[in-house]
């Protein structure tokens, strides 16, 4: 079934971001605000109309505590099966005791179980909502470790889920690499219909992920539960759909010209050109929209 044929009731954008750390000798500050801005400009743009995502639990984008994340997402009823969800996680990440963990502002390296958040636990809270269409982006160091946890699940993730861990388990994620790749992709597709027709309301995951994978290179992006092969996703609205395109010139007859009359006894009339279309700089060119 095509994405534009799926009945999506509501669209949520959840951003979990930490840029400031109490133990900044271990985890230096990160400028995550610029990364967040890229996702919000795309997904929350008013021009998307009914495809526009609405921020959910916006406090999680401002250096949350484990209690903040638990209160907002564990057992939430704000996300329902018929909704579409985009979850973006950015900040520092660590692998401790074989599990990938998100480093939060008050995290203590000596007390990881009570001060950090296990990424697979966060994923489990989202799974419990039953949401069938989700894009989950974990943009931290070593994020690829969560793919191992996904493989151990008793039930497979829904087919409408797309998981992106932006660095392999042994790799570090560069700040802004993924959000920058997304921003460049969106800018390029505005002029290259091979990356998404303006007639298609949603984008193909394979196109977006291929662009991101190529851009980040040695970080080795890990896609879970599987790399998508085709089709579009309601979690990837096409920003070019419905956007006014630049007028393009077409071949047509030039404007009418009145020429002097050659009939005997008729007064001579000077040549007069019809006015150019409003907004055009060349009166001899016709434009179409």
Average pLDDT, the chain: 84
What pTM did the predictor assign?
0.81
* Token pair belonging to 259: 């020429």
Q: What are phi and psi of 208, to 5 degrees?
A: -65, -45
Segment 222-230 shows an average pLDDT of: 86
Q: Which helix (H) or strand (E) holds 136?
A: strand 133-139
> What's the pLDDT tens digit per position in 252-273?
444 443 344 444 444 443 433 3
pLDDT score for 250? 43
| Six token digits for residue 89 | 């996680």
How far is residue 148 from each of residues 45, 125, 138, 169, 173, measured CA to CA in Å?
Answer: 35, 17, 14, 10, 18
Give pLDDT, residue 228. Answer: 83
List alpha helices for 102-176, DSSP H. Answer: 112-115, 119-128, 146-151
DSSP letter for each residue of 11-78:
EEEEEEE----TTTTTS-----HHHHHHHHHHHT-GGGGGG--EE-SGGGGS---HHHHHHHHTT-SS
Let me know if domain 3-224 sits in CATH 3.40.50.1460.
yes
Residue 280 has pLDDT above 60, yes or no: no
Q: Is 119 exposed, middle or buried (0-12, 13-18, 19+ CB in 10 A)?
A: buried
For the chain, give every residue range classified as CATH 3.40.50.1460.
3-224
Q: Tokens 């047509």 identify what position?
A: 252
Q: What is the pLDDT of residue 197?
A: 64
Distance, in Å, from the CA atom of 46 to the CA atom of 36, rounded to the nearest integer, reads: 17
Of the chain, the end-to-end C-alpha distance in Å amounts to: 32
Tell me how far apart the alpha carbons of residues 245 and 271 are, in angstroms, rounded to a whole number: 35
Q: Is the peptide bond before 225 cis (omega within 30 degrees of 0)?
A: yes
pLDDT at residue 140 greater than cutoff 80: yes
């Amino acid at each position: 079934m095509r994405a534009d044929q799926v009945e999506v009731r509501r669209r949520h954008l959840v951003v979990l971001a930490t840029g400031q750390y109490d133990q900044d000798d271990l985890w230096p500050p990160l400028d995550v605000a610029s990364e967040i801005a890229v996702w919000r400009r795309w997904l929350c743009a008013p021009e998307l109309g009914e495809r526009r995502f609405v921020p959910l639990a916006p406090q999680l984008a401002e250096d949350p505590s484990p209690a903040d994340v638990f209160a907002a997402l564990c057992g939430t009823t704000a996300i329902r099966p018929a909704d579409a969800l985009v979850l973006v996680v950015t900040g520092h990440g660590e692998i401790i005791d074989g599990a990938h963990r998100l480093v939060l502002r008050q995290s203590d390296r000596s007390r990881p179980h009570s001060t950090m958040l296990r990424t697979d636990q966060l994923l489990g809270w989202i799974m419990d909502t039953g949401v069938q269409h989700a894009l989950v982006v974990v943009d931290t160091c070593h994020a690829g470790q969560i793919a191992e946890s996904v493989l151990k699940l008793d039930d497979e993730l829904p087919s409408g889920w797309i998981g992106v861990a932006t660095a392999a388990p042994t790799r570090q994620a560069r700040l802004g690499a993924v959000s920058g790749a997304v921003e460049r992709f969106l800018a390029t597709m505005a002029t290259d219909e091979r990356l998404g027709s303006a007639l298609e309301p949603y984008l193909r995951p394979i196109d977006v992920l291929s662009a991101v994978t190529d851009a980040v290179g040695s970080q080795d992006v890990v896609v879970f539960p599987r790399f998508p092969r085709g089709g579009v996703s309601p979690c990837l609205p096409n920003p070019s759909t419905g956007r006014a395109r630049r007028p393009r010139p077409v071949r047509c007859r030039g404007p009418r010209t009145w020429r002097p009359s050659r009939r005997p006894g008729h007064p001579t009339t000077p040549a007069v050109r019809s006015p150019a279309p409003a907004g055009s700089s060349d009166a001899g060119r016709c434009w179409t929209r």
